[in-house]
Amino acid sequence: MTEDDTILTADTNTDPATEDGTMSDEDVTLLDDDQGKKTDDKDSDTDQTKNVPEKYDLVLGEKSQLDPSVLNDVAGLAKELALDNEQAQKVATLIDTAAASHFDHLVSEHKTRITEWVAQVKKDSVMGGANFNGTIDAAKRPLAKYGDDELRAGLKETGFGNHPALIRFLSKIGKAMGEDHVIQQQHATAHEKSIAERLYPELQNKPG
């Protein structure tokens, strides 16, 4: 193509860019920008994947609350994002730290709730005040008679042994057990006397 020709008027037997049919560097840059972009993208993909390990070596904290299987999910995500092992470990550590923080928050909330339960029992008009010790003694009575080590351990571990509703329920049973015991003793005493009277009626009418 001569200096006077344009793309539209140039000889169609040759490439409009150069007479020998090749593209100059300037033409490639201006007219075929996608070609350069594809080359850059390919180089970038190669750089990103060259550090991706065949298998990730990831760990959780010593006191982690997470199941170790979560590392498989992290590894899968890391592979998809073409992360190297160091980057993948940062993701695992971030998740582990967030989970630990959430767990600590739940534990703190539960401890506060248990403390509030005790305060509610002590302030209760029936269970608390001067009646508090008697209420607890009564509540322990059915637990001691019918409960086992597993139940007691569960109440202690969960803190539910301080729940006002449970204390109220057990104390009522305990008081009823105490009342039944007194009635049974009275009944047994009266019953023994009646037997004695039937066996030795002459003793009842014998003058002193």
* 4-14 tens-digit pLDDT: 544 433 455 55
User: pLDDT tens-digit profile of 128-164?
Assistant: 999 999 999 999 999 999 999 999 999 999 999 999 9
Cβ neighbours of 92 (radius 10 Å) = 23
Helix (H) / strand (E) containing 106: helix 85-123
pLDDT at 182: 44
Cα 59 from Cα 89, distance rounded (Å): 7
The model scores a pTM over 0.85: no
Give the domain ranges of the chain.
1-50, 52-123, 130-205
pLDDT at 10: 46
User: pLDDT tens-digit profile of 56-77?
Assistant: 999 999 989 999 999 999 999 9
pLDDT at 175: 92
Cα 72 from Cα 102, distance rounded (Å): 21
- DSSP 3-state of 136: helix
pLDDT at 51: 81
pLDDT at 112: 96
Question: What would the two tokens of residue 79 be?
Answer: 């592979």
Cα 141 from Cα 29, distance rounded (Å): 91
Helix (H) / strand (E) containing 27: helix 25-31
Residue 20 has pLDDT above 80, yes or no: no
Residue 183 has pLDDT above 50, yes or no: no
Cα 143 from Cα 139, distance rounded (Å): 7
pLDDT at 5: 41
Share of the chain above pLDDT 70, in %: 62
Burial class (CB in 10 A: 0-12, 13-18, 19+), 74: buried
Residue 170 has pLDDT above 70, yes or no: yes
Question: What would the two tokens of residue 60 be?
Answer: 């959780």
